[in-house]
Structure 1
Amino acid sequence: MDTALLMGFAAAAFVLSIVPGPDMMFIVAHAATGGRRGGLVAAAGMSTGVVGHTLAVAFGLGAVIQAAPAALDAVRVVGALFLVYLAVSTWRASRSHQENPPEPRNQSLGRVYAMAALTNLANPKVVLFYLAFLPQFLTTGAGSWPVTVQLLTLGAVLLAVGLAVDAFVGVLAGTLSERLLWRGSAFRRWLDRTAAVVFGGLAARIALDAR
């Protein structure tokens, strides 16, 4: 693979990364309630999902899905159900703020990381993106790298670009939330319910787009 090809791929990856999508919405939702750390951890979790997709596609998941389309439907169902769970649990958490005195939020960063990684891995549109986008930048013929190595390289570039964009978004959203956030239970309840609506919307979007 030559440098010009990689630079072209990096530019395309940047354009795709800055377009708001489910992953970015997830990061913003957690940055709004968890601050800069929550946003950064969510971004790291999403990048872990990208690593998983890269390895899977590079080593043959694409062939499996093309041979068995029903596998993609299973991924869609799992992803939508998981986001519905997030929406319900977050909405329930907002009710606890109404019933109990407000306390400083102590969000489990490990849980945020795991949820972000699973949300990315369960998104069938990411799989479709890899199958449709990466092959356009593969080269064949004498002197070309093995296809698996090319896919891993392209995945690494996509990971680096996506992590940079997502981390910036997470820090920005977290900074704004920390400057606006106060201890009032009403405002915290509004943040939780907004996040719940975001998660529910993501579930609906994934379910509809994957049809």
Structure 2
Amino acid sequence: MTDAASLVPINLLPFVLTALVIEITPGPNMTWLAVISGLEGRRAGFAAVAGIALGLSIIGLAGALGAAALFQTSSALYETLRWGGVAFLFYLAAEGWFSAGRPQEMQTGSYCGYFLRGLLTNLLNPKALLFYIAVLPSFVAPQQPVMHQTLMLTAAYVAVATIIHSLIALTAARLEPVLNDPRRERLARRTLSAVLALVAIWFALTTAQSGR
């Protein structure tokens, strides 16, 4: 029992509370999930949630193996990642805006497509990488194995994020019947696409500040 307990990071609970606060703060994932789930339904939202979870896991594993330090020391790599993420958010916003009013079969994507978009959005998310660089290490206790703690805290963060994202998808999906009317759907799609574009601008400004 003692050995098993010693494997649990000492700072796991405060870390989980910190991750919870971060995840309920509006950001690209939250906005995009609301768009997808509200307009395309619960299953599309969950496909996106799965892609986001995989993306966060890959970045967390890369951070644990030291790749995050490379981005921290190379401004060129960081800027490439940052602007790639901003461009992709603008692409999603533009696609949502210009697809409004088209026939429904032209608007609905595959679940695999939503999964891949969720994955790509987070692989191009420098804020997620910065979380693993700046926030997670502060919860690592020197008296316990560093790699083991890092992997466990990463898993805890992905779990918290996935729960929050799933709740967002479920809540937004309840709006789908309301949006079945073509006029309401068009207005909602363009409104949410405009919000996503604003999030992309906010994303560019805040990540530039964080990267200094």
Normalising by structure 1, we get a TM-score of 0.87
Does structure 1 conserve the Cα–Cα contact (< 8 Å) formed by 2:37 and 2:172?
yes
Partner of residue 125, structure 1: 127
Deviation at 1:136, TM superposition (A): 0.8
Residues 180-191 of structure 1: pairs in structure 2 closer than 5 A = 180-182=178-180, 184-191=181-188
The one-letter code matched in structure 2 to 1:124 is P
Does structure 2 conserve the Cα–Cα contact (< 8 Å) formed by 1:29 and 1:198?
no
Does structure 1 conserve the Cα–Cα contact (< 8 Å) formed by 2:97 and 2:189?
yes
Partner of residue 34, structure 1: 40
Does structure 1 conserve the Cα–Cα contact (< 8 Å) formed by 2:11 and 2:141?
no
The equivalent position to 1:198 in structure 2, one of 184, 195, 198, is 195
Query: What secondary structure, in the 3-state scheme, does the structure 1 residue paired with 2:141 have?
Result: coil
Task: Output the aligned Cα RMSD.
Answer: 2.0
Identity %: 32
Query: What secondary structure, in the 3-state scheme, does the structure 2 residue paired with 1:210 have?
Result: helix
Does structure 1 conserve the Cα–Cα contact (< 8 Å) formed by 2:19 and 2:160?
yes
The one-letter code matched in structure 2 to 1:64 is L
Deviation at 1:54, TM superposition (A): 0.6
Residues 131 and 109 (structure 1 numbering): CA distance in 2 closer, same or farther, change over 3 Å?
A: same
Partner of residue 174, structure 1: 173
Deviation at 1:38, TM superposition (A): 2.1
Query: What secondary structure, in the 3-state scheme, does the structure 2 residue paired with 1:178 have?
Result: coil
1:20 aligns with 2:7: no
Task: Supply the distance in 1 between the matched residues of 2:32 and 2:151 (Cα, whole angstroms).
Answer: 26
Partner of residue 16, structure 2: 10
Does structure 1 conserve the Cα–Cα contact (< 8 Å) formed by 2:23 and 2:161?
yes
Gaps of 5+ in 1: none
Does structure 1 conserve the Cα–Cα contact (< 8 Å) formed by 2:9 and 2:141?
no
Residues 104 and 89 (structure 1 numbering): CA distance in 2 closer, same or farther, change over 3 Å?
A: closer
Deviation at 1:89, TM superposition (A): 1.7
Deviation at 1:199, TM superposition (A): 2.7
Task: Supply the distance in 2 between the matched residues of 1:192 and 1:64 (Cα, whole angstroms).
Answer: 38
Task: Supply the distance in 2 between the matched residues of 1:180 and 1:88 (Cα, whole angstroms).
Answer: 23
Task: Supply the distance in 2 between the matched residues of 1:165 and 1:103 (Cα, whole angstroms).
Answer: 29
Deviation at 1:189, TM superposition (A): 1.2
Gaps of 5+ in 2: 1-6
